[in-house]
């Protein structure tokens, strides 16, 4: 999927990265479908997410840049994003990032321990809420920056009727566990339960790997 040109980011951008300091990022190896990474402590983050009002979800979702048709039943709260989806090092941070980072970073850093990264960078961070009795269409996230990052899901709220879906397989992702998903193959999901499903979703790459390539 290419970034839509008709859905501008409406919130003020707090910080832009400096992609020129990294150079070329290597292509990462994706799992075939889903790879379990590690258990993570989500208690503090989960508590804050549970206190978000319907108004907060609606307001944050209103101006999102990832307004693709496949997400028609999903609400997002963005903290970081890659606007053009071309260079993972060219990302923006929103004003909410420093407010949430103390809760988000410990979860994300625990999730990526299996990668043994030297200088992890998180260019895309968001909360995604799939509404009850709704689904996400099968889709590919596309090439570009997605070829150079690992995409991680951490369920914060789910139920037994939620599945992460590929063309020929389905997976149940459990609360408090981190998973890498293959986002460049067709994937989606459904929530047949009576409660909304909320995931922390983020992408990561190792800046040290880029430095080595250009040394």
The band of 182, judged by pLDDT with boundaries at 50, 70 and 90, is: very high
pLDDT by residue (tens digit) across 39-60? Answer: 999 999 999 999 999 999 988 8
Question: How many angstroms separate the CA atoms of 81 and 92, rounded?
Answer: 6
pLDDT of residue 59: 87
Residue 89: count of CB within 10 angstroms of its CB: 22
The rounded mean pLDDT for the chain is: 87
- The pair of structure tokens assigned to 185 is 């193959």
- DSSP H or E segment with residue 203: strand 197-206
pLDDT by residue (tens digit) across 90-131? Answer: 999 998 999 999 999 999 999 999 999 999 999 999 999 999
Cα dihedral angle (121, 127, 31, 183), rounded to 10 degrees? -100
Question: How many angstroms separate the CA atoms of 212 and 118, rounded?
Answer: 11
φ, ψ of residue 206 in degrees (nearest 5): -100, 110
Whole-prediction pTM value?
Answer: 0.87
Q: Can you tell me the mean pLDDT for 148-171?
A: 95
């Amino acid at each position: 999927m290419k970034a839509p040109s008709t859905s501008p980011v409406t919130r003020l951008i707090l910080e832009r990265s400096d992609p020129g300091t990294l150079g070329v990022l290597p292509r990462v190896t994706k799992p075939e479908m889903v790879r379990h990474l590690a258990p993570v402590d989500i208690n503090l983050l989960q508590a804050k997410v549970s206190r978000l009002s319907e108004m907060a979800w609606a307001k944050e979702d209103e101006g999102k840049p990832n307004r693709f048709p496949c997400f028609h039943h999903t609400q997002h709260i963005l903290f970081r994003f890659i606007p053009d989806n071309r260079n993972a090092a060219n990302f923006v941070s929103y004003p909410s990032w420093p407010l949430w980072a103390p809760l988000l970073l410990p979860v994300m850093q625990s999730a990526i321990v299996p990668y043994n990264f030297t200088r992890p960078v998180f260019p895309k961070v968001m909360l995604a809420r799939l509404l009850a009795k709704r689904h996400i269409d099968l889709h590919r996230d596309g090439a570009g920056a997605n070829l150079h990052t690992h995409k991680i899901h951490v369920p914060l709220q789910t139920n037994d009727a939620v599945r992460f879906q590929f063309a020929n397989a389905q997976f149940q992702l459990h609360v408090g566990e981190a998973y890498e998903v293959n986002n460049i193959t067709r994937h989606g999901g459904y929530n047949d339960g009576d409660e909304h499903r909320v995931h922390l979703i983020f992408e990561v790459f190792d800046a040290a790997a880029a430095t080595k390539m250009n040394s």
